[in-house]
A and B are shown apart, each in its own frame.
Chain A
């Protein structure tokens, strides 16, 4: 350290004392760190949907809009439920249930895709019968981020808690996860 540099530091210490540390602490409450400033490259985002996800929030769309990414909307009907119905009901009734589910899923996918496209996001949709947890974890490997509704795979409960399946997915996926 040269003379001028050590002189500045001596004067700085005498003028400011410990005030700078407290200022930094106050700022750290709401400013991002250097690491946080770096935006990860996100080209594709998986957004799983199901019967319990009725909409995608505006706040979530704002965040998704920040990335120049394709949104993959995936509507998943629980394979376990279909299996139980197949065992309990006759074939036509099961087919009717599936058809109604598919109709609901298709409308939800179309509605959500349209809403995202209104915000300039490109989308692709997919619908299948599968396992809501395992399949999302598997599909997330091919995406850069996964965005999960807190109600996904949960039920119609009205409390603000996050669905256990969502928490489990977050623990298992390696990509960044957004819960909305």
Chain B
């Protein structure tokens, strides 16, 4: 093997080890690794611009602007209080409703913001009910990862896959949506079987909880009514645009004949258009909103793309793909390997760097076999694999981190026991459904 290839592998492994350990900020680790491969010429400037997936970065950027602008209106707190009140004092209903709301919100907005804003409310409700909050928190984590897997914009791995493979929002809904609905039902059943017995409260306690929660005024959570309404309208418009982004030209052509009917919008363009509309309409200070953009996350993605690009440039990814092609007999077998490798590896490494490394591999596999089912296998494995360990996905880290700060211990092993069970069951069901669709 050539020296540059060895260096590319060393930088890749060293950076990924730093990301797993996080003693150095993940964005800094990724940028440093990228700097090495650029400095020694493994990834020249022209190739760097090709490897950095600006579709992913601009989609994340646009959604961050929308979410951060909407956040200022109190929208998420409003949703959290309404959900708590709807439960009417029943712990099981709290668990189910918060899981469903988390899943739906995570499907359309980013998982980290969703759990960051719903977890304090969930902890409050658990405290009022005088119940152990752990079952509610772990269910919220799993629901966030399952919900996020259902759409193109729900989870970073899906965004990366869609941008790289040119998949549409509706394709995600068609291929992954039904799987996630089934997985969500199974997840809720599993949580009920595991924790249901510990969630009983007396009628007096239930009455007390209803009284406490009814005392909360969801309207008080809305700090800016006008921004609240505008945020809801723009988010609804953006979601609508996502549904039609690949055939927007056909629709626009009817009212604006000069628009090319073949025109489609990239998901990143939809997000940036939505961000521009919300900023323009709401008159929020752009300085304040842009300050809230998670720049470290964007640089983290950029660095990862360059580091993985070094593996592509040195032919390592192509070699791995060749070995796989030689040893894989059918599409179904390739799907099996990708789903389970992605699921287990993303539970260890975090699903974002795992997906970044897997995308070029699938592109290479696509030269000799149909890559289409493989993209869904990767999305399924990477998103649901995040449920396996406490560090498998960002939502896990956020919820467990909040719990620790509030004095609630969810140990790595405790999470692992339930997480791995959820991982294996949901991935197995999902793989079965994908296999029936693409490999039968």
**Chain B interface residue number, banded:** 35 or more
Stretch at the interface among B245-253, B304-312, B397-405: B397-405
Q: Judge whether A31 and B112 touch: CB under 8 Å.
A: no
Contact of B21 with A by CB under 8 A: yes
Q: Judge whether B116 and A20 touch: CB under 8 Å.
A: yes
Contact of B412 with A by CB under 8 A: yes
Q: Is the interface of A mostly helix, strand, loop or mixed?
A: helix
Contact of A14 with B by CB under 8 A: yes
Contact of B373 with A by CB under 8 A: no
Contact of B217 with A by CB under 8 A: yes
Q: Judge whether B112 and A8 touch: CB under 8 Å.
A: no
Query: How does the 8 Å CB contact mask read for B348-385 relative to A, with 1 for contact and 0 for none?
Result: 00000000000000000000000000000000000000
Q: Judge whether B112 and A16 touch: CB under 8 Å.
A: yes
Contact of B189 with A by CB under 8 A: no
Specify which of B23, B77, B212, B217 is in contact with A26 (CB 8 Å cutoff): B77
Given A8-B390, A37-B127, CB of A16 within 8 Å of CB of B121: no
Specify which of B211, B216, B223, B412 is in contact with A4 (CB 8 Å cutoff): B412
Given A10-B22, A11-B391, CB of A23 within 8 Å of CB of B120: yes
Contact of B200 with A by CB under 8 A: no
Q: Judge whether A9 and B401 touch: CB under 8 Å.
A: yes
Measured between alpha carbons, how far is A8 from B394 in the docked complex, in Å?
10
Q: Is the interface of B mostly helix, strand, loop or mixed?
A: helix
Q: Judge whether B404 and A5 touch: CB under 8 Å.
A: yes
Contact of A156 with B by CB under 8 A: no
Q: Judge whether B116 and A10 touch: CB under 8 Å.
A: no
Measured between alpha carbons, how far is A29 from B220 in the docked complex, in Å?
9
Tell me which residues across on chain B come within 8 A of A4, comparing CB atoms: 390, 411-412
Contact of A89 with B by CB under 8 A: no
Q: Judge whether B221 and A30 touch: CB under 8 Å.
A: yes
Q: Judge whether A24 and B120 touch: CB under 8 Å.
A: yes
Contact of A87 with B by CB under 8 A: no
Query: How does the 8 Å CB contact mask read for B207-228 relative to A, with 1 for contact and 0 for none?
Result: 0100110011100110100000
A residues 113-146 touching B (CB-CB < 8 Å): none
Tell me which residues across on chain B come within 8 A of A13, comparing CB atoms: 401
Q: Judge whether B116 and A14 touch: CB under 8 Å.
A: no
Tell me which residues across on chain A come within 8 A of B401, comparing CB atoms: 8-9, 11-13, 16, 20
Q: Give the residue name and chain of the A residue nearest to B74 (CB).
A: A26
A residues 19-39 touching B (CB-CB < 8 Å): 19-20, 23-24, 26-27, 29-32, 34, 37, 39
Contact of A15 with B by CB under 8 A: yes
Measured between alpha carbons, how far is A14 from B25 in the docked complex, in Å?
6
A residues 43-90 touching B (CB-CB < 8 Å): 66
Q: Give the residue name and chain of the A residue nearest to B81 (CB).
A: A30
Contact of A179 with B by CB under 8 A: no
Measured between alpha carbons, how far is A148 from B294 in the docked complex, in Å?
51
Measured between alpha carbons, how far is A122 from B377 in the docked complex, in Å?
66
Q: Give the residue name and chain of the A residue nearest to B411 (CB).
A: A4
Measured between alpha carbons, how far is A77 from B400 in the docked complex, in Å?
61
- A4 to nearest B CB, angstroms? 4
Contact of A7 with B by CB under 8 A: yes
- A61 to nearest B CB, angstroms? 14
Specify which of B25, B217, B220, B397 is in contact with A8 (CB 8 Å cutoff): B397
Q: Give the residue name and chain of the A residue nearest to B416 (CB).
A: A4
Measured between alpha carbons, how far is A5 from B77 in the docked complex, in Å?
28
Q: Judge whether B211 and A10 touch: CB under 8 Å.
A: no
Contact of B265 with A by CB under 8 A: no
Q: Judge whether A15 and B77 touch: CB under 8 Å.
A: no
Specify which of A8, A34, A39 is in contact with B400 (CB 8 Å cutoff): A8
Interface residues on chain A, number (Cβ under 8 Å): 27
Q: Give the residue name and chain of the B residue nearest to A68 (CB).
A: B204
Tell me which residues across on chain B come within 8 A of A37, comparing CB atoms: 127-128, 212
Q: Give the residue name and chain of the B residue nearest to A15 (CB).
A: B394
Contact of B26 with A by CB under 8 A: yes
Q: Judge whether A30 and B127 touch: CB under 8 Å.
A: no
Q: Give the residue name and chain of the B residue nearest to A29 (CB).
A: B220
Tell me which residues across on chain A come within 8 A of B398, comparing CB atoms: 12, 15-16
Q: Give the residue name and chain of the B residue nearest to A19 (CB).
A: B116
Given A10-B22, A66-B211, CB of A27 within 8 Å of CB of B121: yes
B residues 265-302 touching A (CB-CB < 8 Å): 294, 296-297
Contact of B117 with A by CB under 8 A: yes
Contact of B124 with A by CB under 8 A: yes
Given A15-B112, A23-B116, CB of A30 within 8 Å of CB of B217: yes
A residues 148-162 touching B (CB-CB < 8 Å): none
- B45 to nearest A CB, angstroms? 28
- A55 to nearest B CB, angstroms? 23
Measured between alpha carbons, how far is A74 from B239 in the docked complex, in Å?
61
Measured between alpha carbons, how far is A171 from B23 in the docked complex, in Å?
55
Query: How does the 8 Å CB contact mask read for A100-120 relative to B, with 1 for contact and 0 for none?
Result: 000000000000000000000
Measured between alpha carbons, how far is A5 from B23 in the docked complex, in Å?
13
Measured between alpha carbons, how far is A81 from B412 in the docked complex, in Å?
74
Chain A: residues with CB nearer than 8 A to chain B? 4-5, 7-17, 19-20, 23-24, 26-27, 29-32, 34, 37, 39, 66
Nearest 4 A-B pairs (CB), nearest first?
A: A12-B401, A4-B412, A10-B22, A11-B397
Known contacts A8-B400, A15-B398, A17-B296; 5 additional CB pairs below 8 A are A7-B21, A12-B402, A14-B26, A31-B124, A32-B212
What are 6 of the A-B contact pairs (CB < 8 Å)?
A20-B116, A24-B120, A27-B120, A30-B216, A31-B124, A32-B215
